[in-house]
Chain A
Amino acid sequence: DQQVKQNSPSLSVQEGRISILNCDYTNSMFDYFLWYKKYPAEGPTFLISISSIKDKNEDGRFTVFLNKSAKHLSLHIVPSQPGDSAVYFCAASLEGNTGTASKLTFGTGTRLQVTL
């Protein structure tokens, strides 16, 4: 059973426009959420995170929104740049539970292509 879902396998956006990547989760106990970016032939790299006590976190061009009631989070990239073309994974964890702290459950990924 996929506890973290990214229903869009791919997304194409023009340079300069906003990219919105979506992620849904089913386990209401998740309390920490992260986005990772992955280029081909490299390992995933951490992008941005959000704790369940917040509904928004911003870092430069990247903003993550969390809607706990809908069990939904999204990553906004504004403005999108060609270098943002990569696969984006959302992940969730139970940070409040020390027995499983840092255990990440990943979504299946969304491939973002930013076109010129």
Chain B
Amino acid sequence: EAQVTQNPRYLITVTGKKLTVTCSQNMNHEYMSWYRQDPGLGLRQIYYSMNVEVTDKGDVPEGYKVSRKEKRNFPLILESPSPNQTSLYFCASSFIPGEQFFGPGTRLTVL
């Protein structure tokens, strides 16, 4: 089954404790992206990757890191999480260009 998977689905952590949210797709898509969804703000892009070893900032990259060492994986790293990073996070992938397929989301709470 074609899908984008994210782990974990739910995470509660404390300020400053490094965390990684994994994202994996099995559709051989070149393009992968991370978004956060916040009330009243819709979906905002954090980082995106056009292919392996090619990443670029989206609209709200501060406080986040990404890497794209393999085509199928695109982890999101929060080196020192803060409460303003409490949000619902989505990973997405697509061919270039093309409709994006989204993962199920990761709800992160930073205390």
Contact = CB atoms under 8 A, between A and B. Distances in A.
Interface residues of B, number: 26
Nearest to B41: A108
A104 B42 contact: no
Interface in B93-108: 94, 96-105
A45 B105 CA distance: 12
Given A104-B45, A108-B42, A43 B102 contact: yes
Contact of B104 (A42, A49, A98): A42
A11 to B, nearest CB: 16
B92 to A, nearest CB: 8
Nearest to B98: A102
Contacts of A77: none
A44 B104 CA distance: 8
Given A44-B102, A45-B102, A46-B99, A108 B40 contact: yes
A41 B6 CA distance: 13
A113 interface: no
A46 B44 contact: no
Contacts of A32: 97
Nearest 10 pairs of A and B residues by beta carbon: A43-B102, A108-B42, A106-B43, A101-B97, A46-B99, A106-B42, A102-B31, A95-B97, A44-B102, A102-B97
Interface of B: 4, 31, 33, 35, 40-45, 48, 58-59, 90, 92, 94, 96-105
29 contacts: A4-B42, A32-B97, A34-B99, A41-B105, A42-B105, A43-B92, A43-B102, A43-B105, A44-B43, A44-B90, A46-B99, A46-B101, A49-B99, A89-B42, A95-B97, A101-B97, A102-B31, A102-B97, A103-B33, A103-B58, A104-B33, A104-B100, A106-B42, A106-B43, A106-B44, A107-B42, A108-B40, A108-B42, A109-B42
